[in-house]
Every structure is written in C-alpha cells, then in structure tokens.
C-alpha cells in the first residue's frame, strides 16, 4: 500500500497523468561578443556544444550516487515516486533526494509529472541503470570515471616524457568498473554467442578442452567459461600479480575446484601447450608486443585449435569512426589507459583500443595465424570478434 507521501495509483475519479519526458536542456547563452574573424553562428554552436558537455560530465557523479545508494534499483518497477515517497522507501534524507531526482530528471534519465511532483524510472532506463545482469547494463562504467581523473596527472606526464603505466598501476576503481561492465557483455556475448561461433569449438569444450585466457585481468572471462563448460579447464594469464590474486579469490568463491586457475605470466611467455582455445578478450591491444603474443599463442595451440580475439569495434579509416557510436568512448579510454599500457611494456607497439580490423589482421598474420575470419556480430555494437588459426 502506498504511503501518504507517495503517488496513489490511478482511479476512476482521479485519473493519473502520464509522466512527461523532461524538456530538452535550453541552449547555452550566446557569447556576448564575437572575436574578430570568427563566425558568430559557429561560435554559438561551439559554446552550446561545450556547455552541453559540461552538463553531461556534471551529471555523472549523480549517476554514481544513484547506483551506490540503490536509488535506481529502488525506483525500478516502482512507478511514480515523489521525493518523500523515495525517502520513505530508502530511509534517506528527502531534501537530498529531491535535488538528486531533479538533477537526474533534467538530464533525461527520469520522467517527471509536474502535476504530482512524482518521478518515474522507465523500464527502458531500468534495464540500463538498475540491473547489472541485463545485457544492456551500463551502470558499471560510471564509477570507473573517478579512476580516469585520479590518474590524469600521471598520464599528462607521459605526454611530455613518454613511457606509460600498466593496468595494475591505475586507481583500483578502473579494474572494478571494467569487471562489472563486462560481466553482462560476457554472459550474453562471449558465452552465449561468440565462443559458440568459433567453428567446431563447442563440442570440444563439452568433451573437455584446454583454454588459455591471455590478459585475463580479474578472471571474469575465465570463470564464466569454466562455469559454462564444466569438463574443460581454463588457465588465465596476466602480468599483474594483484589482478591474478583477485582472480584466484573469485575462482575459489565460485567453487571451481581447480577448473579455473590463474598464473602471473607475460603474453609471450606463459607456459603450456595443446590449448584448444586461446582467448584475447579485450587485451591484445594493451600488449607491448602483440605480434609476439600471437606467435606464442600459435605455438601453444593444439591441432585444429583456435584463437579468439575480442577487440573494441573500430573502423579501418579514422574518418569512418565519426559514425561509430562507440568511438568517442573508445578513443578516450585508449588515450588514458590502453596506449599507456602498451608503452609501459617492452615493444611498445601501442596498437590502441581502436586499431580496427585491418590492422588486427596484420598483427595476427605476422604472428603466424593466417586464417582469420570475422564471427558473431556484436548486437551493441561495441566489439569486433575474430577467429584465427594457423
């Protein structure tokens, strides 16, 4: 039963007004003066663009608060809620909730009914912000933005002097956000579609295959593979000992009984051979010498084994990336994280996260994997998926 502070359900005598979409933000104020030689309309458009970007960036901490405080989860499926009603459900302070609700609503994430003062998180936005298991979940990305700011001074130094930093040297929020963001992608993509698209692989996994997960990070992909195909064994390799320690804890908590194990090792020097599958899940572009990593994978493959490469979707020509909805995120992360990762290692190839299919094929071919085909289109689209064999 709704509390007195919540919006009552619609009745025959008091019809409910459907929530209205928050109005589009007003354009930024036009500049008071136009510098000589600058087109006034272009200047106004530039001011509006940057002003809008400031709004986007200022909203991000509100999204993180909504996640941390469980506000999106509380609002999911709850229908219209006033600030007082949300306070009653969460035990949080109404005055802060009122301001938060308004800030998130004017950003377009919530619907608002001016007649009742209530706010609604639609089912569509709930699938993006409130449910970590949904294939459309993106909420896990936002906490990682703090890491990008925290490490910015150090990255600035690389612009001046060269060098780089590995994933393990970044603020811990980055790895945690990467793991949380990729979980639904790997559950609904890697496990359900991408691995099954590798020719002849699923029967081998069902019978009991050997898998190497190179650049495994916190071990998410390794653990999911071991859980889905319990007769197979997965070994995850990563040069970051802290990441490997975390992966080992996660495997133990999942009760995998040695079916998912993790070792600290470089991509061009990990032990073992006869692997039916060697996976590079969003890791090849981070490596200092990706050709050497591919050559080592070729040598470690079993007969008729395959390499699966999962990389961010990018065009072969930069000019075409302007139409790529992922490119803006991809180039930003590549600048701040992926390129520094490669330049911190021997080789320093610095492929970048947005290398594109043609460049990736060159790397695979140079490493001895000459049969390369594109598989399972990613529905997002965010990822480029390649199967490679000798």
pLDDT in tens, 253-307: 999 989 999 999 999 999 999 999 999 999 999 999 999 999 999 999 999 999 9
Q: Rounded to whole angstroms, how far apart are CA atoms 63 and 137?
A: 13
CA distances, 383 to each of 185, 307, 379 (Å): 10, 16, 9
Write the CATH number for 44. 1.10.10.10
Residue 4 has pLDDT above 50, yes or no: no
Residue 245 has pLDDT above 90, yes or no: yes
Domain annotation covers residue 328: yes
Domain annotation covers residue 4: no
Quick: pLDDT tens for 213-226. Answer: 999 999 999 999 99
pLDDT for 7: 36
**Same domain, residue pair 124 and 217:** no
Residue at a domain's end among 79, 101, 129: 129
Q: Name the residue with tokens 């990389």.
A: 311
Domain annotation covers residue 313: yes
Number of domains in the chain: 2
Residues β-bridged to residue 213: 236, 279
Among left, alpha and beta (phi > 0; psi -120 to 50; other), residue 127 is alpha
Residue 164 — pLDDT band, cuts 50, 70, 90? very high
Give the closest residue to 110 by CA, choosing from 78, 149, 148: 78
Domain annotation covers residue 1: no
Give mean pLDDT, residues 222-231.
Answer: 98
Tell me the DSSP string of 93-160: -HHHHHHHHHHHHHTTSSEEETTTTEEE--HHHHHHHT-TTSTT--GGGGGGHHHHHHTHHHHHHHHH
**Same domain, residue pair 92 and 171:** no
**Same domain, residue pair 149 and 124:** no
Domain annotation covers residue 148: yes
Considering only 3-7, 122-126, 170-174, 383-387, which range has the smallest mean pLDDT?
Answer: 3-7
**Same domain, residue pair 82 and 216:** no
Give mean pLDDT, residues 190-194.
Answer: 95
**Same domain, residue pair 59 and 166:** no
Q: Rounded to whole angstroms, how far apart are CA atoms 163 and 159?
A: 8
Residue at a domain's end among 81, 109, 129: 129
Residue 40 has pLDDT above 50, yes or no: yes
**Same domain, residue pair 50 and 164:** no
Domain annotation covers residue 158: yes
pTM: 0.87
Domain annotation covers residue 355: yes
Write the CATH number for 339. 3.40.50.150
**Same domain, residue pair 227 and 331:** yes
**Same domain, residue pair 206 and 262:** yes
**Same domain, residue pair 125 and 166:** no
pLDDT for 36: 86
Q: Higher model confidence: residue 276 or residue 25?
A: 276
Domain annotation covers residue 124: yes
The DSSP bridge pattern shows strands 20-21 and 118-120 to be: unpaired
Three-state DSSP state, 199:
coil
Q: Rounded to whole angstroms, how far apart are CA atoms 306 and 199?
A: 9
Give mean pLDDT, residues 322-334.
Answer: 95
Three-state DSSP state, 260:
strand
Give the alpha-carbon dihedral of 117, 123, 125, 126, to 10 degrees.
100
pLDDT for 172: 93
pLDDT for 25: 52
pLDDT for 1: 37
Residue 26 — pLDDT band, cuts 50, 70, 90? low
Give the 3-state secondary structure of 71-108: HHHHHCCCCCECHHHHHHHHCCCHHHHHHHHHHHHHCC
**Same domain, residue pair 170 and 256:** yes
Quick: pLDDT tens for 51-94. Answer: 999 999 999 999 999 999 999 999 999 999 999 999 999 999 99
Residue 107 has pLDDT above 50, yes or no: yes
**Same domain, residue pair 37 and 82:** yes
pLDDT more than 90, % of the chain:
88
Residue 14 has pLDDT above 80, yes or no: no
Give mean pLDDT, residues 332-352.
Answer: 97
Give mean pLDDT, residues 9-17.
Answer: 36
Residue 16 has pLDDT above 70, yes or no: no
Three-state DSSP state, 292:
helix
For residue 343, the surrounding DSSP H or E stretch is helix 339-343
**Mean pLDDT across the chain, nearest whole number?**
92
Q: Rounded to whole angstroms, how far apart are CA atoms 191 and 178?
A: 17
pLDDT for 72: 98
Q: Rounded to whole angstroms, how far apart are CA atoms 389 and 372?
A: 7
**Same domain, residue pair 85 and 204:** no
Domain that holds residue 45: 20-129
């Amino acid at each position: 039963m709704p509390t007195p502070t919540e919006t009552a359900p619609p009745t025959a005598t008091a019809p409910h007004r459907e929530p209205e979409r928050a109005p589009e933000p007003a354009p930024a104020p036009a500049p008071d003066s136009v510098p000589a030689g600058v087109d006034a309309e272009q200047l106004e458009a530039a001011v509006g663009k940057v002003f809008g970007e400031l709004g986007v960036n200022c909203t991000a901490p509100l999204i993180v608060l909504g996640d941390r405080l469980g506000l999106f989860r509380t609002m999911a499926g709850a229908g219209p809620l006033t600030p007082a009603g949300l306070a009653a459900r969460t035990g949080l302070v109404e005055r802060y909730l009122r301001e938060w609700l308004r800030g998130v609503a004017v950003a377009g994430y919530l619907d608002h009914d001016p007649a009742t003062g209530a706010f609604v998180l639609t089912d569509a936005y709930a699938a993006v912000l409130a449910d970590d298991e949904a294939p459309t979940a993106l909420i896990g990305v936002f906490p990682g933005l703090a890491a990008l700011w925290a490490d910015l001074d150090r990255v600035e130094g690389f612009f001046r002097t060269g060098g780089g930093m590995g994933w393990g040297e970044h603020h811990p929020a980055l790895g945690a956000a990467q793991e949380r963001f990729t979980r639904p992608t790997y559950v609904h993509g890697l496990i359900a579609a991408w691995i099954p698209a590798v020719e002849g692989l699923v029967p081998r996994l069902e019978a009991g295959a050997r898998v190497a997960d190179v650049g495994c990070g916190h071990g998410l992909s390794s653990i999911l593979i071991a859980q889905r195909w319990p007769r197979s064994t997965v070994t995850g390799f990563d040069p970051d000992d802290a990441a490997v320690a975390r992966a080992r804890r996660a495997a133990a908590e999942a009760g995998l009984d040695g079916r998912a194990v993790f070792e600290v090792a470089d991509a061009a020097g990990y032990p073992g051979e006869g692997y039916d599958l060697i996976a590079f899940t969003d890791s090849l572009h981070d490596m200092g010498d990706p050709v050497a990593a591919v050559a080592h994978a070729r040598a470690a493959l079993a007969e008729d084994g395959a390499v699966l490469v999962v990389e961010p979707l990018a065009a072969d020509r930069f000019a075409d990336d302007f139409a790529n909805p992922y490119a803006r995120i991809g180039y930003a992360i590549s600048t701040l994280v992926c390129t520094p990762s490669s330049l911190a290692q021997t080789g320093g190839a610095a492929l970048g996260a947005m290398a594109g299919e043609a460049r990736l094929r060159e790397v695979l071919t140079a490493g001895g994997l000459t049969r390369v085909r594109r598989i399972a289109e990613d529905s997002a689209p965010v990822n480029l998926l390649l199967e490679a064999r000798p």
